């Protein structure tokens, strides 16, 4: 491995991903391996038992995570056949619990939401529950998308929060994204996100009006045209994924 080039590593990674998608859709074949001196236990388990560093944490997802993966990087289960394959070896009760959390399943929108929750939201919920028991933890959901992204069918999909975090809406590209009378709203959301991130980096808290996550309230900051706090907004979806894992 020390003699391999960067190009060889990238080529090998792509090959492993392709093979992994054939063997078990959604079980991403590259990730941290725990059980050695570098990473002795599973990170979420370390958080749950208080063995992780007890530092303040912000964790969150976007409202429509899965939509990006219906167009590009088709690595997530976002339609009925892919989801049925994903859940093929799952206990019947668990399978029923997961699909029942999406009442319109197998409608396309429900499938896309399920795939996004499987890959992203379930991890954020588990991390917030685990780490929040030992250190201040703040959960968010990023809902904002300009009309151009909504018209394209992507909406507030994976990574679109980076447009606000890194001030993209003030660039020429951002001006194109907000050409449909969305510029003021986009800048307002950007300012809000950046203000929270800066406050957190300085003090460990994103603001007194953003409650830390707790099992009693499960507060979630929703970033949108009108940002707000919601409490446990999707309990059935959150509970449906509890304990589910494809890890080997």
The lowest-confidence range among 22-31, 90-99, 120-129 is: 22-31
- Which pLDDT does position 88 carry in this prediction? 86
b or e along 197-221 (b: 16 or more beta carbons within 10 Å of the residue's beta carbon)? Answer: eeebeeeeebeeebbbbeeeebbbb
Comparison of pLDDT for 224 and 75, the residue scoring more = 224
> Averaged over 84-113, what is the pLDDT?
93
> Averaged over 156-185, what is the pLDDT?
95
Hey, how many other C-beta atoms are within 10 angstroms of the C-beta on 102?
20
pLDDT at 248 over 60: no
Residue with tokens 């994204």: 177
> Averaged over 209-215, what is the pLDDT?
97
Confidence of residue 167 (pLDDT cuts 50, 70, 90): very high
- Which pLDDT does position 26 carry in this prediction? 64
Long-range contacts of 169-176 (CB under 8 A, 24+ apart): 176/148
Hey, how many other C-beta atoms are within 10 angstroms of the C-beta on 109?
13
Rg (CA), the chain: 19
- Which pLDDT does position 25 carry in this prediction? 66
pTM of this prediction? 0.90
Phi, psi of 46 (to 5 degrees): -60, -40
- Which pLDDT does position 247 carry in this prediction? 63
- Which pLDDT does position 138 carry in this prediction? 98
Q: Is the separation of the CB atoms in 36 and 87 below 8 Å?
A: no
> What's the pLDDT tens digit per position in 13-72?
888 888 877 766 666 777 778 999 989 999 999 999 999 999 999 999 999 999 998 987
> Averaged over 167-171, what is the pLDDT?
96
């Amino acid at each position: 491995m020390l003699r391999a080039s960067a190009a060889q590593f990238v080529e090998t990674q792509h090959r492993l991903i392709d093979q992994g998608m054939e063997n078990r859709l959604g079980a991403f074949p590259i990730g941290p391996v725990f059980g050695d001196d570098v990473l002795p236990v599973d990170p979420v388990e370390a958080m749950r038992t208080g063995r992780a560093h007890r530092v303040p944490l912000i964790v969150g997802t976007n409202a429509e995570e899965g939509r990006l993966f219906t167009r590009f990087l088709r690595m997530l289960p976002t339609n009925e056949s892919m989801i049925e394959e994903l859940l093929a070896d799952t206990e019947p009760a668990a399978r029923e619990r997961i699909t029942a959390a999406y009442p319109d399943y197998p409608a396309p929108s429900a499938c896309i939401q399920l795939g996004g929750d499987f890959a992203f939201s379930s991890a954020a919920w588990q991390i917030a529950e685990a780490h929040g028991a030992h250190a201040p933890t703040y959960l968010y959901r990023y809902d904002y998308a300009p009309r151009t992204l909504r018209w394209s069918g992507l909406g507030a999909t994976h990574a679109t929060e980076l447009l606000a975090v890194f001030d993209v809406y003030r660039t020429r590209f951002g001006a194109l994204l907000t050409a449909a009378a969305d510029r003021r709203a986009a800048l307002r959301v950007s300012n809000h996100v950046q203000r929270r991130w800066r406050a957190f980096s300085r003090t460990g808290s994103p603001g007194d009006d953003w409650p830390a996550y707790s099992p009693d309230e499960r507060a979630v900051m929703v970033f949108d045209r009108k940002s707000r706090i919601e409490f446990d907004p999707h309990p059935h979806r959150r509970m449906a994924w509890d304990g589910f894992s494809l890890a080997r």
